């Protein structure tokens, strides 16, 4: 699972805008905008979510899920 905050943070780490994330993930710009506008956990069909996560991971972003080992605890993102 990924949250809208993690999406925005991941884009910031990569220095890309929503349009570029859409291009890299193979999703439409409106889909990316909808995902980021959702509160909390991003909702969408499984295929779209997998494309998004794969694109972020391919570009060096590691998603930290709730309960995962992290020095500060909680959800987050970091570059590999």
Percent of the chain at pLDDT exceeding 70: 82
* pLDDT class of 55 with cuts at 50, 70, 90: very high
Domain ranges of the chain: 4-79
Our CA angle for 20, 24, 39, nearest 5°, is: 70
- Predicted TM-score (pTM) of the model is 0.83
- pLDDT score at 74: 55
CATH topology of domain 4-79: 434 Repressor (Amino-terminal Domain) (1.10.260)
- pLDDT score at 68: 59
Mean pLDDT of the region 36-63 = 92
Mean pLDDT of the region 35-62 = 92
């Amino acid at each position: 699972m990924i949250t809208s905050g993690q999406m925005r943070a991941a884009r910031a780490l990569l220095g890309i805008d929503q349009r570029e994330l859409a291009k890299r993930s193979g999703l439409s710009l409106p889909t990316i905008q909808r995902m980021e506008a959702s509160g909390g956990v991003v909702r969408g069909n499984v295929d779209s979510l997998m494309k998004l996560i794969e694109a972020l991971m391919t570009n060096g972003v590691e998603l930290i899920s709730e309960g995962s080992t992290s020095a500060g605890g909680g959800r987050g993102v970091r570059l590999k």
